[in-house]
Amino acid sequence: MTDTDKLFSKPLAQISDFAFDDEVVRVFPDMIKRSVPGYPTIIETIGLIAGQYAQPDSLVYDLGCSLGAATQSMRRHVRASGCRIIAADNSAPMVNRCQEYLLAQDAMVEQLTPVEVIEADISELALQPCSVVVLNFTLQFIPPPRRLKLLTDIHRALLPGGLLVLSEKLAFTDPHTQLSLETMHYVFKRANGYSELEIAQKRSAIEKVMQPDTLEVHQDRLSQAGFSRSHIWFQSLNFCSMMAHK
Ligand code: GEK
């Protein structure tokens, strides 16, 4: 069991930029489940997708792995022989806790795909040839001018037939669509027990560090990076997950 997210429940005199520090790590599983519509389905399905696309004797990357939820799912479903997962995050507290969770998974389940967890800035990582890359709600935290280079590096590292899974919060150019899906996202958070104060303070904390793009911007950037096709496989309100094919 992890702690309940109460980080923004009291009025804060000053709201600092959101950071993936010890406090956030402690409540992260609760926070992401109550904040991202469809998160458990996305995690489970990423395992199935990786199981389908992972190639024998290749690497699978989970970039911005946080506590390794997608990695844990992939370890259960990837059956290609000789596959190895590299899970990377630049938050030391995330990486430490992720390692503990993966050891606990090893103790409970047999025949899991081997994994290595590394502390690294994914925009500076030298990616090795790989068959599957997962960016599950991570690209939105990379400064916009660095996003194309990261996707180009991923495309270059992917083997023929390789796949990128890209999950993101979406922005919409049509103001009506933006307002209606944003409103429904707040309805989702309130239904999960967050107060108006928590929602407002979290929004102020995160608005500078997390910058969502529209679907059009994502798809243009993916094709600029070299991907031949990209399409949505899941959407709940303003959160979606895409598959981008080498
Ligand atoms: C999940 N994928 O549960 N390099 C490495 N990691 C980074 C960087 C960077 N430059 N910038 C941010 N991160 C996870 C959820 S959370 C999404 C991903 C969210 C990391 C950051 O430390 C955090 O762990 C993660 O990206 C984003 O399937 O909290 O909404």
Cβ of 219 less than 6 Å from ligand 1: no
Model pLDDT for residues 183-213, shown as the tens digit of each residue? 999 999 999 998 787 777 778 777 888 999 9
Model pLDDT for residues 13-32, shown as the tens digit of each residue? 777 776 788 888 988 898 89
Model pLDDT for residues 151-194, shown as the tens digit of each residue? 999 999 999 999 999 999 999 999 999 999 999 999 999 999 98
Helix (H) or strand (E) holding 233: strand 229-236
Cβ of 45 less than 6 Å from ligand 1: no
Compute, in angstroms, the gap from residue 42 CA to the centroid of ligand 1. Answer: 15
Compute, in angstroms, the gap from residue 122 CA to the centroid of ligand 1. Answer: 10
Compute the distance between CA of residue 40 and CA of residue 165 in angstroms, rounded to an integer.
15
Q: Which atom of ligand 1 is nearest to the CA of 121?
A: 4
Which of these, 222, 242, 58, 215, lies nearest to 155 by C-alpha position?
222
The bridge status of strand 158-171 relative to strand 213-214 is parallel
Compute the distance between CA of residue 98 and CA of residue 133 in angstroms, rounded to an integer.
18
Superfamily of domain 39-172+209-245: Vaccinia Virus protein VP39 (3.40.50.150)
Residue 49 gets the label, from left (phi > 0), alpha (psi -120 to 50) or beta, of alpha
Compute, in angstroms, the gap from residue 65 CA to the centroid of ligand 1. Answer: 6
Compute the distance between CA of residue 230 and CA of residue 167 in angstroms, rounded to an integer.
12
Cβ of 89 less than 6 Å from ligand 1: yes
**Helix runs in 127-174, H state only:** 147-157
Residue 244 · residue 56 · CB < 8 Å = no
Residue 134 · residue 62 · CB < 8 Å = yes
Compute the distance between CA of residue 148 and CA of residue 131 in angstroms, rounded to an integer.
20
Model pLDDT for residues 91-128, shown as the tens digit of each residue? 999 999 999 999 999 999 988 999 999 999 999 999 99
Cβ of 130 less than 6 Å from ligand 1: no
Cβ-proximal residues to 162 (8 Å cutoff; 6+ apart), any chain: 53, 55, 130, 131, 132, 133, 245, 246
Compute the distance between CA of residue 190 and CA of residue 195 in angstroms, rounded to an integer.
6
Is the per-residue pLDDT at 8 higher than 80?
no
Compute, in angstroms, the gap from residue 191 CA to the centroid of ligand 1. Answer: 25
The bridge status of strand 130-136 relative to strand 115-119 is unpaired
Cβ of 122 less than 6 Å from ligand 1: yes
Q: Give the amino acid at 75.
A: R
Helix (H) or strand (E) holding 161: strand 158-171
**Among all chains, which residue has been given the structure tokens 């303003």?**
238
